[in-house]
Structure 1
Amino acid sequence: MNEQDFLDDLTDLMDTEDNITMETRLSDVEEWDSLSHVAFMALAATKASGKIAPTDVKGAQTVRDLYQLFYGVK
């Protein structure tokens, strides 16, 4: 999954019409809420390169942070 695929999946997951980029701050996306957090964890459980801790997702500030968690990039 490349960055654009990730952005598309995340946009669908959050059911937002906002233009999401890798630099988008999650706090600026109204739809990034507890339900989106759980949906992201479910997506990660099926597609991510490794296990992601809920505390790591909660600590993410930007979409890029989520992407890096998803692919195990530090």
Structure 2
Amino acid sequence: MSENGEANTTTSPTATNSADDARQELSVQLEDLLNTLSNKFAGVSSEIFAKMDEMSRRLDNLESQIMAGKVKPNGPA
């Protein structure tokens, strides 16, 4: 009777290997996707910070020119 119980609860080695292979492949695919997304996010973040730094420099330059009287703000005509 114990043999019947064991036969009903075990799976074939092929089915187990296929399931393990599928899980492993899914894990690899997900890891690749997460790495790709992480790299893209890092690239976009770098671009945003670079643009913010450039805007800050331009604003500082504009502010210093206004303070020096070199640039006159446009007013109503």
TM-score interval, normalised by the smaller of the two chains? under 0.3
Structure richer in helix, relative to its length: 2
What's the TM-score, normalizing by structure 1? 0.21
What's the TM-score, normalizing by structure 2? 0.20
Which is bigger in relative contact order (C-alpha 8 A, separation at least 6)?
Answer: 1
